Amino acid sequence: MHTELDTIDRQLLSALQDNARLTTNELAQATGLSQSPCWRRIRRLEEAGLIDGYRARLDRRKLGYGVVAFVSITIDHQNDARNTVFIDAVHAIPEVVMFHAVTGTADFLLMVVAADLDSYSSLLLSKLHRLPGVQQVQTNVSLQEFKAFDSLPIPGGPDPA
């Protein structure tokens, strides 16, 4: 479901995406609202599900994760029971930081972090290959990151230059 956003909603969402630690007072000043109406708008955006939560963005390299791998997995057959078991097993692997069902030659795409290639190899052999129903696994290791996923474009705003 798409929620209509006005200019102030877009400003609030953009500001919070850039820095979720902004106070209501700082957000109010940035949007030209007083504090109470600003707080009410933020609550409305939260209740509408547009704001899913507030998180800190961590530096994976400083945490020791030097490798990012994109792992395509094909499973032997899909049904609701098999998918549930597979999905639960993937959720139990903390190194899997993104997980999608996809179209194309694979059934699922995982984004995995590891300290180094040896650590990734160990994870691949001990966990990923042993996921229930795995038929095929293909890994693409990221050589260089040009743009990370850390914000979404706000609909209805100005087009990027």
Residue 152 lies in a domain: no
Based on the fold, state whether residues 137 and 71 are members of the same structural domain.
Answer: yes
pLDDT tens-digit readout, 25-57: 999 999 999 999 999 999 999 999 999 999 988
Query: In this structure, are 13 and 71 located in the same domain?
Result: no
The H-assigned helical ranges of 66-142 are: 80-91, 117-123
CATH of the domain at 23: 1.10.10.10
CATH number of 134's domain: 3.30.70.920
The better pLDDT of the pair 151, 27 is held by: 27
Please, which pLDDT band fits residue 6 given cuts at 50, 70 and 90? very high
Domain annotation covers residue 151: no
Provide the strand spans (E) within the chain.
67-75, 96-101, 108-114, 134-141
User: DSSP 3-state assignment of 106?
Assistant: coil
Mean pLDDT of the chain: 93
Query: How far is it, in rounded angstroms, from Cα 22 to Cα 39?
Result: 12
Q: What is the mean pLDDT of residues 107-135?
A: 97
Q: Is the pLDDT of residue 63 over 80?
A: yes
**Using one digit for the tens of pLDDT, what is the confidence trace for 93-118?**
999 999 999 999 999 999 999 999 99
Q: What angle do CA 73, 140, 65 make, to 5 degrees?
A: 105
Instruction: Tell me what pLDDT residue 81 has.
Output: 83
pLDDT of residue 108: 97
Using DSSP's 3-state secondary structure scheme, residue 117 falls into helix
| Domain carrying residue 77 | 67-141
